[in-house]
Amino acid sequence: MENQARKKRIFSGIQPSGDLTLGSYMGAIKNWVALQDEYECLYCIVDMHAITVRQNPADLRRRALEQLAQYLACGLDPQKNVLFIQSHVPQHAELGWILGCYTQFGELSRMTQFKDKSAKHKDNITAGLFTYPVLMAADILLYQADLVPVGADQKQHVELCRDIAQRFNGLYSDTFTLPEPFIPKMGARIMSLGNPESKMSKSDPDGCIYLMDKPEDVMRKFKRAVTDSETSVKFDKENKPGISNLLTIYCTATGKTLEEAEAEFAGQGYGVFKPAVGEAVVELMRPVREEATRLLADKAYLESVYREGAQRAQYLANKTLSKVQRKIGFIAR
Ligand code: ATP
Ligand code: LTN
């Protein structure tokens, strides 16, 4: 990795707070795979972020490992990329604390994810949920990432990260690279199949396709997808949010353009279109599901991947962390 210093760097992560979804695949992971040759990439399982809402310990442990198997199964090469678990690299927490001292209460109060999640978990609004974006900024800035491939919902957090970095650089001279969000043109916001007005999310099993769903479950969910009372397969986000979402999924899964898809289903009605989308997704996910299942049986291999990833990540993280500590006036260890 050190020999490729001229390559630009990428950081991204997903919380092991639920099974990976078609939304996180189309919004984020698909791009991680596409960018892995061109960039030096670190892809993380952000378990420290996951505990900002209550997790069952056994489930958290299982999901973190499953998520690693799924990253690999989606096509992320552990030789090319640094694949690791956030809590294995304590520098994230250390830089997170420091950056929290350069972040305003008001900035964090404006984060829409905090507003949404604190409304959902009214009985457990922790300080960790509030400072979540600071830890996310630490994730990104520790590695001097240039690009952060995420779905549209994470744009605000990446922008806050830039603001924190800019503020720090202004106070102490250039320290952090300013990261850019990388949001796909198509698939940045996949909507729930049960309610096309809200984002497809792990915590909504009916409207959500999980990467590990069996083909019959995928087909059932697509056949039941909420649409409208018309019959034409046309992209119109305002008036036909359900069909527009299905078209987006179909095109992202097959690589076809909206025009090609509309032409393909012209005059055919939803009874033909909905199962066709289901089949495209089943075919997209089949190799991922099969390979993830195979990998999960090989715990020793998965362990070797996350161990090596943590070592490589720590080496890079230490460089930034010691620079930051020196700049703010901590005595070197
Ligand atoms: P939660 O419901 O717990 O908030 P989530 O389902 O939104 O979780 P995350 O783990 O927060 O999923 O997201 C992982 C990555 O996938 C992020 O980059 C996020 O922007 C992206 N992503 C998540 N859901 C979608 C979606 N429906 N459409 C496009 N991208 C998505
Ligand atoms: N907040 C992100 C997960 C996340 C992340 C990151 C994404 C944590 N740290 C750093 C990109 C870069 C989410 O998906 N909810």
CA nearest 289: which of 19, 58, 18?
Answer: 19
Per-residue pLDDT tens over the stretch 89-120: 999 999 999 999 999 999 999 999 999 999 98
Provide mean pLDDT across the span 22-51: 97
Residue 110: CB atoms within 10 A of its CB come to 11
Place of tokens 């830890």: 135
Ligand nearest to the CA of 154: 1
CA dist., res. 136 & res. 114, Å (int): 13
Active-site residues: which are they? 117, 199, 202
pLDDT score of 213: 96
Under a CB-based contact definition with an 8 Å cutoff, are residues 213 and 293 in contact?
A: no
Q: Helices in 143-238 by DSSP H: which ranges?
A: 155-172, 215-223
Read off the pLDDT band of 5 (50, 70, 90).
Answer: low
| Nearest-CA residue for atom 6 of ligand 1 | 201
| Any ligand 1 atom below 6 A from CB of 149 | no
* Alpha carbons 221 and 141: distance in angstroms, whole number: 39
pLDDT at 1 over 80: no
User: Which whole number is the average pLDDT over 195-224?
Assistant: 94
CA distances in angstroms from 75 to 250, 254, 287, listed in the order given: 20, 17, 10
- pTM, two decimal places: 0.96
Q: Which atom of ligand 2 is nearest to the CA of 145?
A: 12
Q: Is the dihedral of CA 193, 197, 203, 206 positive or negative?
A: negative
pLDDT at residue 121, as a whole number: 85
Helix orientation angle between 270-296 and 241-254, rounded to the nearest 10 degrees: 50
C-beta of residue 221 within 8 angstroms of C-beta of residue 209: yes
**292 vs 275: CA distance, rounded Å:** 25
- 16 CA from centroid of ligand 2 (Å): 11
- Amino acid present at 225: A
Rounded to an integer, the average pLDDT of 143-156 is: 98
What atom of ligand 1 comes closest to residue 188's alpha carbon? 29
Closest ligand to residue 189's CA: 1
Q: Is the pLDDT of residue 4 over 60?
A: no
Instruction: Judge whether 237 and 246 are in contact, CB under 8 Å.
Output: no
Distant-in-sequence, close-in-space partners of 230: CB < 8 Å, separation ≥ 6? 240
What is the distance in A from the centroid of ligand 2 to the CA of 12? 6
The amino acid sitting at 114 is F
Q: Which of 15, 17, 22, 24 to mutate to test the pocket of ligand 1 (most atoms within 8 A of CB)?
A: 24
- State the Cα–Cα distance between residues 261 and 14, nearest whole angstrom: 30
Chain-centroid distance, C-alpha 173: 31
Chain-wide mean pLDDT for the chain?
A: 96
- Under the banding of pLDDT at 50, 70 and 90, the label for residue 333 is confident
Structure tokens at 150: 């995420």
pLDDT-above-70 percentage for the chain: 98
Q: What is the pLDDT of residue 35?
A: 97
Ligand 1 pocket residue status of 190, Cβ below 6 Å: yes
Nearest of 185, 208, 190 to residue 245 by alpha carbon: 190
- Which value, to the nearest 10 degrees, does the dihedral of the CA atoms of residues 180, 184, 188, 193 take? -160
Q: What is the pLDDT of residues 153-207, one digit of tens each?
A: 999 999 999 999 999 999 999 999 999 999 999 999 999 999 999 999 998 888 9
Q: Cα(282)–Cα(175) distance, rounded to whole angstroms?
A: 45
Q: Given this model, what pLDDT does residue 206 score?
A: 82
In the predicted model, what is the mean pLDDT of residues 247-263? 97
Q: Does residue 145 carry a pLDDT above 70?
A: yes
**SS3 state at 140:** helix
| Residue reference for tokens 């939803």 | 270
